[in-house]
Structure 1
Amino acid sequence: MRMKNKNFFLFLKYFFFRKIRDWGEIFFSICHLARIKTKPLNGNSFKDFSIFVENKSNPFEIKVHKSILSLRSPFFNESLRQESLSISLNQFNKKEMESILSYIYYGNISFENQENLIQLLEISIYFKLNLLKEIIQKKILNSINYSNFFQFLFQNRNLNSNEIEIKCFELINQNFSQIQNNENLFNLTKEEIIKFIQFKQEKKEIFQFDFFQFLNNWIEKRNERLKGKKEKHKMNEKKRLFHSFSSLFDKDSISKQDFDKLKQFDIFLSKSFLVDIQNKVIQENQKEIENKEKENQQMKIEIEDKNKENENKWKKRK
């Protein structure tokens, strides 16, 4: 197949100016540049392998080319070394498998349904398609916004992508005052709240009192699910959770103004936490007093200098 001049330069760009990660990516580049018109996935020519998906008792068969799959996907390259003529992937449905095969054969992937982006990312990781993984993850990060960040955060629980989690935390942080009573916020797990606290700590942000109110309400709602438990047990559970959260806070992350408000939760907060904050407040107060004294001293010196200046002027007139 003869390449046109512009495709030849594109070819050079792909192979000499672009980092090629594996031979599967080279195959993808060639297919994309040559703009393959044939549809080997739809026809049955030379297909020598079967993938069975969906129901184990009545699986759906998809015929494929073993060599193409082995070349494009490290997963298939490892799995298809045996002499077997088929593989069962019952955890995937027909639509998911056809979508991933479309990418393997033609480099095409559909992003029409944003609700399936996390699912596609999981599949790309499963089949070790690194380039596709990067493409989908970038698409997800660009798709996360104020209206859907909770959805992506919850979908990410199985995947546990740090990049997606941080993007969602950024939006929670930016809009916390508007969403602090949002039911989705109370559906955060303990681990997610801990990660969010650590996220704010790394940004060296001050924790406002409304965040402690949220923690209190989150714990209260969590305790509501402890049906049949005595109030004493719920109170102890509340203390335990508050202690575990407060142990994460740095004393510099609490403002002096908010410390006074926190006293309503003092029976739930750890003593070490309260002592650290109290010492910080004492130091800040002492510093304020010292600064005020310095200001007064400076003002006194300025007044004395001014008086001397006026006195000298008066003497000269005499």
Structure 2
Amino acid sequence: MDNNNNDNQIENANQNENENEMKNLQKKFINQFYLQDLLFNESLRQESLSISLNQFNKKEMESILSYIYYGNISFENQENLLQLLEISIYFKLNLLKEIIQKKILNSINYSNFFQFLFQNRNLNSNEIEIKCFELINQNFSQIQNNENLFNLTKEEIIKFIQFKQEKKEIFQFDFFQFLNNWIKKRNQRLKGKKYEHKMNEKKRLFHSFFSLFDKDSISKQDFDKLKQFQIFLPKSIFIKKQKKLIQDKKNSRKEN
């Protein structure tokens, strides 16, 4: 019984110590002149103003304070970088945000870009997302069956297609085949849904994705391959493409 009481007392003491440390950090943070302008200017002044640091780790907050007071900051690992970036965004520390983001961009490579991409969902950094998309695009043939690729959200798929289109890439049937497999896996997760519902969802997604492609970049060979998905794609696409191919063929004959 005495041992249990001692353990509880030690646990409570440790908890109180951690709470006191966080309160001290909070006081330092609020009193720091750099943030006084941010928190107490005319537009933000209120009768009562409080700031919560509970969602951040003590270690990362100490790193932020070290940067504010002394201009120094240390980076330990991937999680540490992302946590520091989140704090810098939260408190509008724009210069620090740029420093950390540059460090993150230099840290993203073939072995970790999926992890950074998924963890960026909370941060919504366009720069990090683009860097990850670049690596996906460069290594697509090697990773097209990677399970992480199928964990991309619909929004990320759309952004990735838009990224490819901005780079003026021609249509690639292999990528379209991946989209088909991605939709299949997504539908498999729709448990309890009827077959008709899944087919309608597949058609809706195909329409949504295919509308983003440059149709003129589709070669005749890829166009022929696409015919197997004809029931899921707008009929007008095939009619227009067929007319264009016929016209191109006529023009080619005239030139010859």
Match of 2:71 among 107, 122, 130: 107
- Alignment of 1:270 onto 2:247: no
Change over 3 Å in CA distance of 1:140–1:77 after alignment to 2: farther
Counting only pairs closer than 5 Å after superposition, residues 2-21 of structure 1 correspond to structure 2 as none
From 69, 87, 90, the equivalent of 1:123 is 87
Deviations 1:195-216 (A, max 9, x none): 1111111111012111111011
Q: TM-score, normalising length from structure 2?
A: 0.83
Local SS of the residue matching 2:32: helix
Normalised by the size of structure 1, how large is the TM-score? 0.68
| 5+ residue gaps, structure 1 | 1-53, 294-318
Q: How does 1:118-197 map to 2 (within 5 A)?
A: 118-197=82-161
The structure number with the bigger radius of gyration is 1
Q: What is the aligned partner in structure 1 of residue 33 from structure 2?
A: 70
CA gap 1:276/1:179 in 2 versus in 1, 3 angstroms: farther
Q: Which has the higher helix share?
A: 2
CA separation in 2, counterparts of 1:216 and 1:67?
52
Query: What do you get for the CA RMSD once the two structures are aligned?
Result: 2.8
Q: Separation in 2 of the partners of 1:147 and 1:273?
A: 39
Aligned pair in 2 of structure 1 residues 78, 253: CA closer, same or farther (>3 Å)? farther
Q: 1:209 to 1:268 in 2, by over 3 A?
A: same
Structure 2: stretches of 5+ with no match in the other structure: 1-14
Assess, with a 3 A threshold, how the Cα gap between structure 1 residues 87 and 170 changes in structure 2: closer, same or farther.
Answer: closer
Equivalent runs, 1:173-252 vs 2, <5 Å:
173-252=137-216
Displacement of 1:178 in angstroms is 0.8
Percent identity of equivalent pairs: 80
Residue 83 of structure 1 deviates from its aligned partner by 8.8
Using the TM superposition, give the Cα deviation of residue 93 of structure 1 relative to its aligned residue in structure 2, in angstroms.
2.4
Q: Assess if the C-alpha contact under 8 Å between 1:73 and 1:127 holds in 2.
A: no
Residue of structure 1 in register with 2:23 after alignment? 61
**Is 2:30–2:36's contact at 8 Å kept on the other side of the alignment?**
no
Structure 1 distance, partners of 2:202, 2:50, is 54
Aligned length: 238
With over 3 angstroms needed to count, the CA separation of the structure-2 counterparts of 1:160 and 1:279, relative to structure 1, is farther
AA at the equivalent of 2:33:
S
Q: 1:250 to 1:70 in 2, by over 3 A?
A: same
AA at the equivalent of 1:275:
I
Q: Does the aligned pair in 1 maintain the 2:60–2:80 contact within 8 Å?
A: no
Q: Which structure shows the higher strand fraction?
A: 1
**SS of the counterpart of 2:121?**
helix
* Other structure's SS at 2:122 match: helix
Q: Runs of 4+ in structure 1 displaced over 6 angstroms?
A: 79-86
The answer on 1:89 being equivalent to 2:48 is no
CA distance in 2, matches of 1:170, 1:259: 26
